[in-house]
Amino acid sequence: MGAAPSKQLLSGGLFGLYVGVNLSNLLLAAASQRQQTKYINSTAVALSEVIKGITSVMSIAATEKNLKTAAAVVLQTLLKDPVELAKVAIPATLYTIQNNVIYAALSHLDAVTFQITYQLKIVASLISTRLLLGGRVSRARWASIVLLTAGVILVQLSMLNGSDAQDSSEWSKNHLVGLLGVLLACGCSGLAGAVMEALLKSKEVPISKRNLQVAAVSLLLQAVHIVTNDFSKIAADGFFQGYTPVVWSMVVLDSVGGLLVSFLLKYTTSALKNFGAPIGIIANCLVSRYVNAKAERKPVNRKFVAGTSLVLLALGMYTTSS
């Protein structure tokens, strides 16, 4: 009897935290774009994996209560379980591609187009979960996903009024490359989420060990990416070029967000997790409208109200149907 409310509380708490992290990350990303010295994207992805790895080791140490056994468990998790490591290598590779491709896509697209297209990961996630994990998705849940996607598109289009319209007209010549990049990232996110959900929900390996394995494989792949792509830039100006407190905060929040994704996948579903980003986007639109220091603040328009209502309706429909 008591299990259901506490599970709901856990899901609600995780979801709320995830929305908050998404919102903060959007605000920090905007702040980092105004920086003079740019940081190297691939180093930020690598550092985020390091933080997730250290957090997972600390969590293992906390459960083992003895440093010697904890060290043995860490070694066992990373080196002596090739089958489990190979299973994790699939989502870790997909996440590494996703994490790098989104940065590249963002440099080819305006922020609004990027945010709209990136929501296709919701559809990719539902299709992947259905194909890989099976099970029936009720009509109400499919409908809620359609409403969610439409709502996010409306919210994003509402941002085209005012100053962002100018940005969006400055589409990069390469925006097709950017769009293909976002589509690739959506596919990776959907597939990785479905595989990860299955791995995390199976009771064989605890979540902290799974997260350590994901972080270790991702870090290894990211190191190869850095050496092959950004070595000369790092040799010239250092690994930490452009690292301001804003960038550091982004990296830390990105790690927190990644770990929250794993908890959401384990204790809720990838579909519920998918509502976290859209609600973060809405909160970001509201905050940027009112916190914006520019004299010309954007008013809340009809598209924004309609889009937000659709997203909230979709969330209500999703959580009350099964």
* Number of Cβ atoms within 10 Å of the Cβ of 153: 17
Which of residues 262 and 269 has its CB atom nearest to ligand C5P in the complex? 262
Q: What is the C-alpha separation between 108 and 102, in angstroms, rounded?
A: 10
How far CA 80 is from CA of 64, 72, 76, 209, 229, in Å, comes to 18, 10, 5, 12, 31
List phi, psi (to 5°) of 80: -110, 15
Local structure of 115: helix, strand or coil? helix
Question: What residues make contact with ligand C5P under the rule CB under 6 A?
Answer: 52, 95, 99, 121, 189, 193, 196, 211, 214, 258, 261-262
- Tell me which residue of 92, 105, 87, 14 sits closest to 53, measured CA to CA: 92
Which of residues 117 and 262 has its CB atom nearest to ligand C5P in the complex? 262
Which of residues 115 and 189 has its CB atom nearest to ligand C5P in the complex? 189
Q: How far is the CB of 294 from ligand C5P (least distance, A)?
A: 30
Which of residues 45 and 147 has its CB atom nearest to ligand C5P in the complex? 45
Burial (Cβ within 10 Å: 0-12, 13-18, ≥19) of residue 239: middle
Q: How far is the CB of 73 from ligand C5P (least distance, A)?
A: 18
Which of residues 52 and 87 has its CB atom nearest to ligand C5P in the complex? 52
Q: What is the C-alpha separation between 130 and 158, in angstroms, rounded?
A: 32
Q: What is the C-alpha separation between 65 and 130, in angstroms, rounded?
A: 40
Angle between helices 41-64 and 67-79 (to 10 degrees): 130
Which of residues 52 and 108 has its CB atom nearest to ligand C5P in the complex? 52
Which of residues 52 and 141 has its CB atom nearest to ligand C5P in the complex? 52
Q: Where do the H-state alpha helices sit in 3-108?
A: 3-33, 41-64, 67-79, 82-108
How far CA 125 is from CA of 4, 131, 275, in Å, comes to 26, 10, 12
Which of residues 158 and 189 has its CB atom nearest to ligand C5P in the complex? 189
Q: Which residue is nearest to ligand C5P (CB)?
A: 258
Q: How far is the CB of 236 from ligand C5P (least distance, A)?
A: 28
